Amino acid sequence: MMIELLQKVRVIDPVSEIDELFDVLITDGYIKAVASHISDISSDTKIRDCQGLVLGPGLVDLYSHSGEPGFEERETISSFLQAAAAGGFTRVSILPDTSPAIDNPALVAQLQQKRRGSLSPLHPCSPTPLLHIWGAITLDVAGKQMTELADLAAAGVVGFTDGKPLENLALVRGVLEYLQPLGKPVAFWPSDRQLTANGVMREGPDALRFGLPPIPASAETTAIAALLELVAAIGTPVHIMRVSTARSVELIASAKAAGLPITASTTWMHLLLDTKAVKSYHTSLHLDPPLGNPRDVVALRAGVRTGVIDAIAIDHTPYSYEEKVQAFAEAPAGAIGLELALPLLWQYLVETEEFTALELWRALSTSPAECLGQKVSAILPHQPAELTLFNPQQTWKVERKSLYTLSQNTPWLGQQLKGHVVQTWC
């Protein structure tokens, strides 16, 4: 029997709307007691002084990329799960754009087996996170022919997405009609690739200054508007991925006010950085969608705080050193984030008092779970202990030996960060 008493820990619970100091007693994976002071404990209880530490529900990532299958030099399922645990995540969801794509039940079963056989976790008491798998909407995520969606649903996928823009609106309409009775989440990344063209940076004064091909905001907003019209006509709930512009936030707010069944997410880096950061030409700042102009970042932050943007996704996208050592416009888009998101978001949003701790934790845990049709338990007696213990003051250096991910494509490589996950339970 494993019994732990966390003394004087700051409990942040978005389910119960609590941000207070408590003692928390955990016994064999369940919360036994939560009180201002717990003294009635057995002699074999492990007592931990948690002053200055934060305890919240385990973090939930809506979507990220695994290298496996096909690009194991970037990331394996095992390294992905270890990185997720190190970052405080107890549930993670991988996108289907692997090689081969996750477009059939056999591959779903194979990946679920990989999770069960993954390497020992980062900490003796930090179990391997729960791995959810997004099933592809189209064969080989090529955007042409629908997969056997019902078979994938029966195989246990968490929902459906290609993780890539689907520009054939007739196909999108057919998918929405077909998926309605299945009751599984479906996620779309609205992006008009003709308007995107060869752009690599959000259109605006900084793109002109840095001499990089621009992407107009309308590449995203026109695609969102079209998707919203289809949702209004058909009624199937959808999740809108990778929201990155101020106008997109307005469109989503109006659609929600009109009662459309939609949820939305942005990624953690789009909340922290804007186009001015691209001055360094660091290829890990080449993202798709690109970093927004300053007013986009302001709107995205407000959108998350008010709930117009339901969740913060990590969209962890590992690439090898060789793939990223190119000119900015030639390098593949994406950056790692599973181990970096919580420390950096806490440092730049919570410690600056722009977000409350509850607002940030909700957007990283309970809200993404709800987007997946799942629930997160409150931090109350008799509930399962699916928890993350975080030290906001612990400093560490982002370097190869401190990361569990196999890739290092991040603009924070070599920097000291403040905030580190101590342990997870799940």
Residues marked as catalytic: 315
Q: Which amino acid is at 133?
A: I
Rounded Cα–Cα distance for residues 368 and 194 (Å): 30
Alpha helices in 70-127 (DSSP H): 77-86, 105-116
The secondary structure of residue 336, as a DSSP letter, is: -
Place of tokens 């101590």: 422
In the numeric block, the tokens 């201002």 are attached to 36
Rounded to whole angstroms, how far apart are CA atoms 133 and 123? 24
Q: Where are the beta strands (DSSP E) in 308-386?
A: 311-313
CA–CA gap between residue 192 and residue 218 (Å, rounded): 8
Are the C-beta atoms of residues 96 and 64 closer than 8 Å to each other?
A: no
Q: How far apart are alpha carbons 184 and 399 in whole angstroms?
A: 39
Distance, in Å, from the CA atom of 344 to the CA atom of 413, rounded to the nearest integer, reads 13
